[in-house]
Amino acid sequence: MKKALFVLHQKTSEAGDIGKKLKKRGFIFDYVRPPLGDELPKNVKQYNLIVVFGGPMSVNDEEDFLKKEISWIGEILNTNVPFLGICLGAQLIAKYLGCKVEKNNNNLSEIGFYKILPTSKGLKMFESHNIFYQFHSEGFQIPSGCELLAKGDIFNNQAFRYKNSFGLQFHPEVNTYLHLKWLFLVLIKKPHVLFKKGAQNIFNQLFLRIKYNNSISKWLDSFLDDYLLQ
């Protein structure tokens, strides 16, 4: 039986389509939530895949759990365990490798659907689809030794590969249910976030969710089978 570890950063966080698709591929799961006091496993080689998801915090915060998680990510990068960092997860990889994670010069956010531009290294990966859901206000530099796979207009770096790991600034795990859940929770807790400079309005987001949900799902199937789990 194949086993994956999901590292989540809120009580309400879910693995979305990544969890569903991996279950169909025969995976079972362990979950840890470091901000809630869960300990990160010491033996990472027990897993066939590790995924670190996003969260509302910044990698630049001084929280102890973030410092521990960044150091722990370094342990994964020194193994052959396939590793995926999404949004905050990708930024944590970049931070470990010594790169800055920061806002862009125009203080713009990406909240909604945005086109990414594949590099020569990422042409095949993104040939079927290149518009993805995003939810962030900071971006990462590309660490030394990485292959840049995709760029963006607002945040320059959108996807990279480093040894056994992939870092994605966007959220391919978010399906219709998870998208609606995120919007609902943000509207209740921090509604101003959805009106940050650069964010798409909610109705446009929902229209684009209907338009692109199936093609993002198919892209994720291809990414899992042809890249991450190879």
The residues annotated with a catalytic role in the active site are 87, 171, 173
2: helix, coil or strand?
Answer: strand
Q: How far is CA 141 from CA 11, 54, 93, 102, 159, in A?
A: 29, 17, 10, 9, 11
C-alpha–C-alpha distance, residues 91 and 159, integer Å: 11
Residue of 194, 8, 215 lying closest to 132 (CA atoms)? 215
**8-state DSSP, 225:** I
C-alpha–C-alpha distance, residues 118 and 150, integer Å: 4
For 215, the token pair is 């093609």
**What radius of gyration, in Å, describes the C-alpha atoms of the chain?**
16
Q: Distance of alpha carbon 33 from its chain centroid, rounded?
A: 15
C-alpha–C-alpha distance, residues 92 and 75, integer Å: 13
For 190, the token pair is 């921090």
Cα dihedral across residues 196, 126, 218, 225: positive or negative: negative
C-alpha–C-alpha distance, residues 84 and 38, integer Å: 20
